[in-house]
Structure 1
Amino acid sequence: MEEELNYASVVFKNGGSPQKENDEDSTIYSTVKSKVPTTTVTTGGGAAAAHSRHFVLLLVCLGILCVLLISCIGVIIYICGVMKAQEAVEENIIHLEKENYQLMMDKEILANETEVLTRDRDDLNRTIGVIMTFKNFPVNAFCPDKKCQPCLESWIPFQDHCYLFWDPDTPWKTWTQAQTFCRKTNADLLVVDSLQEQEFINKHTKYYYDLHHAYWMGLRTNEDKKWIWLDGRNETLGFWIQERVGNAGGYAMTFPGYNATASWGPSGNDMQNKFICEHEALIRTPVFSFQTLPAN
């Protein structure tokens, strides 16, 4: 900035009259620099422009802050939405797991009920089959007081079969006579199917008369001299006594007092012995009750 120049008039006086070269006083002009500091004066247009720039800058900052704020709000809303969606998914998963567990339980219950119904159906069909083997089924004998028993009185149940150990003092019977007696009771002479059954037989037989007497079984030889059970099956267990007991013949006896795996021996049909009858049990359960229908 250039310094501002001030002009002043200076009059010099001599003690007397002024020197008169001319009739008029001479005027001397001198340049005097002011010591007062100069002040820059800003025009009105410059101040308005600066103020406008500050206002624009403030508006830009406010705009940026608004954008950031809106962005943050949007991010927060998005995160909240994601979290809610995740919670909904987790709730659905838990709900589906509960439903799946309930379905599995229902399926297991249904399977158990089906198994029970199937077993009841099979038992009923089996009971009907046993009844059908009788020409005249003795209802009162099997079901006294409307409660059916697996076996008749004096018969012993074992593994769904009933056994009659015929052991009066005398007279005894030949193999043929014994089988005829069993058939009259809707049974047959004993057919052994397993070691457990033979052990059961041994527990319910006892020694009588002498070493040569035993209990007739439903086992005999055929035309080919092979041992055949009354139900037509070949004998495969082989519970024969190694030493010779009884008489030679084509009919088998089970001897009491021997080991279960070595308790059989042959004899002729003319020999008289005690015997064991066997038939299927009427029911598998110990007691079966009829359901009494309500009166109309």
Structure 2
Amino acid sequence: DKLTCQKGWRLFKSSCYLFYDADPPDQKTWEEAREDCRERSSDLADELRYFSQYTHWYWIGLRAEGGRWKWINGSDLTESGWRRKPPPPTDGQCVVYDMFRWRSESCAERRPWICKKKTLSV
């Protein structure tokens, strides 16, 4: 089987990613970005990958819940793979990511975002 992605999506390590490089009027809060991904049969990216060709701070599927950093799949953040220790998780904070760097921001901020979904087999 050959792995492929829908038009506009990028294949990386057997998943498809959509980088929504919205200009400020079209940027979304974390919840809105997640809803947009779901409407595309995907969800916010639930991992950190080498997305070095992009220069925006993007929403990914990581937010503070109950005093912990949690991925949207329900798993806790582990500190492996981060260049520096994550900030303390405060409810209402979500994570933006750019080129191996990340920071927490209010989930109500408006940002570009990254969706992720499974590949198509052809």
Question: TM above 0.5, one fold?
Answer: yes
Give the counterpart letter for 1:227 in structure 2.
W
Task: Flag structure 1 segments of 5+ consecutive residues without an equivalent.
Answer: 1-122, 124-147, 208-213, 289-296
Within 1, Cα distance between the matches of 2:62 and 2:114? 12
Within 2, Cα distance between the matches of 1:240 and 1:215? 17
The alignment-based identity, stated in percent, is: 29
User: 1:173 Cα deviation (Å)?
Assistant: 0.5
Correspondence for 2:34 among 179, 184, 190: 179
1:20-56 per-position Cα deviation (integer Å, ceiling 9, x unaligned): xxxxxxxxxxxxxxxxxxxxxxxxxxxxxxxxxxxxx
Query: Could you tell me which residue of structure 2 aligns to residue 272 of structure 1?
Result: 110
1:170-225 per-position Cα deviation (integer Å, ceiling 9, x unaligned): 32110000000000000000111xxxx522x2x23214xxxxxx1000001112x1
User: 1:274 Cα deviation (Å)?
Assistant: 0.5
Query: Once superposed, what is the RMSD of the aligned Cα atoms?
Result: 2.5
* 4+ long deviations beyond 3 Å: 240-244
1:143-181 per-position Cα deviation (integer Å, ceiling 9, x unaligned): xxxxx8621101000111000000022321100000000
Within 2, Cα distance between the matches of 1:188 and 1:220? 14
Please state whether the residue corresponding to 1:198 is helix, strand or coil: coil
Q: What aligned pairs does 1:151-190 form with structure 2 within 5 A after superposition?
A: 151-171=5-25, 172-190=27-45
Query: Could you tell me which residue of structure 2 aligns to residue 233 of structure 1?
Result: 75
The one of the two structures with greater contact order (alpha-carbon pairs below 8 A, sep at least 6) is 2
Query: Could you tell me which residue of structure 2 aligns to residue 206 of structure 1?
Result: 55
| Greater helix share, structure number | 1
Query: Could you tell me which residue of structure 2 aligns to residue 29 of structure 1?
Result: none
Query: Could you tell me which residue of structure 2 aligns to residue 254 of structure 1?
Result: 97
Please state whether the residue corresponding to 2:117 is helix, strand or coil: strand
Contact map agreement 1:240 1:264 (CA 8 A) in 2: no
Task: Flag structure 2 segments of 5+ consecutive residues without an equivalent.
Answer: none
Within 1, Cα distance between the matches of 2:69 and 2:113? 18
Within 1, Cα distance between the matches of 2:92 and 2:81? 17
**Aligned CA distance change for structure 1 residues 159 and 252 (closer, same or farther; 3 Å):** same
Taking structure 2 as the reference length, the TM-score comes to 0.83
Structure with the greater alpha carbon radius of gyration: 1
Q: What aligned pairs does 1:104-119 form with structure 2 within 5 A after superposition?
A: none
Taking structure 1 as the reference length, the TM-score comes to 0.36
Aligned residues: 117
Does structure 1 residue 221 correspond to structure 2 residue 64? yes
| Greater strand share, structure number | 2
